[in-house]
Structure 1
């Protein structure tokens, strides 16, 4: 499957709520446009301007309102996963305010099969493809990285007790390999069941907290990665392809006055908001064709995601928002970020390699003329 022409696809998903504000949030029938109306009520405004409505319109690839987890996966991730099987790197990011549904979109609920999120659905599909593509040998390895307070954490660490320590892990870049985390463990999996067990193991190790907007708030950024290699079963074919599929659940931005965070959560929120601010700075720089320098190294998050944001990758963003009037400022902030993301261009190319061990056996020598 060929990638899109280097553009980032952006979707907005609206969290279902009984308090949905139809007067301030309008989803147009085209399924791609969401309009936001915000009533100004600042003391700095003159009395004649108090209460006036401001209007913003955002056109995206899709507005996901009252849709199933199955439809979200089909529209957001399926094309990216199929591209990964053809040798293109892929990334799906969930971005938005705390409690807006990012983790539900990415991992879903374990209470019901139909409420599975993008990660378990992608694992199911990749192993179905492994069974179908009998002419190729496909191998799948998994990693699960957490970035907590600017510390790299291996959620699948094989060493007991080291889950919440970095153990010398570092973000590095190599020619032909791109960005990767040195010291992050890779785990080969041969079935959907094995893969799901590893995913659940990582989920149990994630750092979460509870505050006024979310009982199970992610206090860190998490990147679940599928590393895929596909080789022809033909002994004479020396070429093979590789790819990475990053499924990213970003920690939610917070306004501390609304979450009522304590001291520890205040520290966490400060790190979260700072890293998301650096992410936005990177997006602004990438969208500006006159900027030569992009500040990827400002944070661990932007450094790890360098390829996903402006390199060799098919990238999709899901902007998760509330549909409530009380969260309208945060909704506007999220949609502005999503709008900027649409201006970013990537350069997806097939990761094709040649196995020297195979090619050396296929050398043909010229026939002697004598």
Structure 2
């Protein structure tokens, strides 16, 4: 009921009372077995938990007869079934039987009716040790699903209880089985041998492989043996001296079974469909709450969906105006607007970066040869600079860029009208008087004294930088001279090409077009 899987397993020789232990006898209600008692207790616990919505399903899962699996609760008779029920393992590692019928038991009476209905379909035969020997292994399973009525309903706690009645191991010479019963005994003893091998492997800590798939019985009980389950085994023995050998074998198996350790945990599952419905309701409620908040705050309707193309364009214009300084601030009304604004910023940044990458490098404008010859550069008497060439570096003065036109000098500001000769004549007298009374210290002397002491390191660094500057200027001058030489070679080649085309009578302008 708390979400743990459980198994009650009855094991022993034939005629030792396994079916009587699990199902009960024929002496009335007080003689009932573990299965009806478990059903009664489960429904009593479900009734004592009104805060939970509990669903109980039952299955007389499997009758494993001659290594064939049959469903005892289906409308098709056992004789008409093919016995090819398959065992599968789900994503969580739980063992399930595909195609098994699992009717819902609404009440305890319905559950008992389902159990007795399946119990009447079991294979039973008579031999020397038991008049009603069951010739197959059966697994009666009770499935419990619990959902809280108070807390979240998407949380499902589920569990299952296996009630297993194994067929008894038998010695043929004591039971006197022959024919069909001999074949049944062979399959029973074979499956029990595989069960013992699994138990032995689980008890050995050094074993890596557990042979669950050797038989359908062990594969079906994979959860119960060393898995996610609380398992209890009932060892049925025959307290007579002539059965001492089988009794000892049963007790040895019980001893091995005690070494098997299971790791049981609560089975909790979150229903995805209910989770989706819950989240949809929460989103709807939050949107309504935000709409009410916007109304009370006096704000316009806040948009939480993605922006349409025209809305994106309008927001992009606002961002552009904000970047250009036309808009002082952008009013943010929702988190969606923040996302869209950052998208606009990224788009504008990428466009600007692409534009800068594709922008051509500006070159110096062409220079008139006459002006270049007249100016001669800042150096005065240097070589002639042609159109498209860069002037040479002049020592200590930078690169010559030509002489400015004569009319480019700005007009000098006129003196104030009230400034007369008297003020001009009186000014030197005032300066002389002020110099005599307040003579400042000699800057050159102080600077030379500072350079000789504290500023020696700065002076050395300055001289080193100046020397490096001279070397760089020399390298730049050589590079400029080489570039101008190449430019002149290109111009001469163009002139020779033009002369050759003129000699052949071709029109250069038409060829260029």
TM-score tier, shorter chain, comes to 0.7 to 0.9
Instruction: Give 1:360 shift.
Output: 2.8
Partner of 1:326: 242
Partner of 2:31: 115
Q: 2:70 aligns with which of 146, 153, 160?
A: 153
Contact 1:152 1:165 in 2 (8 A): no
Aligned with 2:126: secondary structure?
A: strand
Contact 2:68 2:83 in 1 (8 A): no
CA separation in 2, counterparts of 1:137 and 1:291?
A: 43
1:21-36 matches, cutoff 5 A? none
1:133 aligns with 2:56: no
Structure with greater strand percent: 1
- Cα-to-partner distance string for 1:273-319 (whole Å, 9 max, x where unaligned): 00000000000001111000011111110011111111110000000
Q: Structure 1: where are the runs of 5+ without partners? A: 1-84
Contact 1:157 1:163 in 2 (8 A): no
Instruction: Give 1:357 shift.
Output: 2.9
CA separation in 2, counterparts of 1:133 and 1:195?
A: 19
1:241 aligns with 2:157: yes
Partner of 1:52: none
1:344 aligns with 2:291: no
1:1-370 matches, cutoff 5 A? 85-144=1-60, 145-159=62-76, 161-162=77-78, 165-166=81-82, 168-176=84-92, 178-234=94-150, 236-363=152-279, 364=282
Instruction: Give 1:168 shift.
Output: 3.8
Q: Which runs of 4+ in 1 moved over 4 A?
A: 364-370
Contact 2:3 2:159 in 1 (8 A): yes
Question: Cα 1:218–1:197, aligned 2, differ >3 Å: closer, same or farther?
Answer: same
Q: Structure 2: where are the runs of 5+ without partners? A: 291-332, 335-513
Aligned with 2:210: secondary structure?
A: coil
Contact 1:154 1:164 in 2 (8 A): no
CA separation in 2, counterparts of 1:313 and 1:270?
A: 30
Matched residue count: 285
CA separation in 2, counterparts of 1:191 and 1:210?
A: 35
CA separation in 2, counterparts of 1:347 and 1:236?
A: 27
Question: Cα 1:167–1:150, aligned 2, differ >3 Å: closer, same or farther?
Answer: closer
Contact 2:51 2:148 in 1 (8 A): yes
Contact 2:88 2:96 in 1 (8 A): yes
- Cα-to-partner distance string for 1:145-187 (whole Å, 9 max, x where unaligned): 100000001111123x345624541011112251111111111
Aligned with 1:188: secondary structure?
A: coil
Question: Cα 1:121–1:163, aligned 2, differ >3 Å: closer, same or farther?
Answer: farther
What's the TM-score once normalised by structure 1's chain length? 0.74
CA separation in 2, counterparts of 1:237 and 1:194?
A: 26
Question: Cα 1:162–1:214, aligned 2, differ >3 Å: closer, same or farther?
Answer: closer
- Between structure 1 and structure 2, the one with the greater Rg is 2
What's the TM-score once normalised by structure 2's chain length? 0.54
CA separation in 2, counterparts of 1:163 and 1:143?
A: 19
Aligned with 2:88: secondary structure?
A: strand
Instruction: Give 1:234 shift.
Output: 2.9
Aligned with 1:310: secondary structure?
A: coil
- Cα-to-partner distance string for 1:65-103 (whole Å, 9 max, x where unaligned): xxxxxxxxxxxxxxxxxxxx1111110100000000100
CA separation in 2, counterparts of 1:175 and 1:349?
A: 16
CA separation in 2, counterparts of 1:210 and 1:168?
A: 27
Structure with greater helix percent: 2
Question: Cα 1:167–1:271, aligned 2, differ >3 Å: closer, same or farther?
Answer: closer
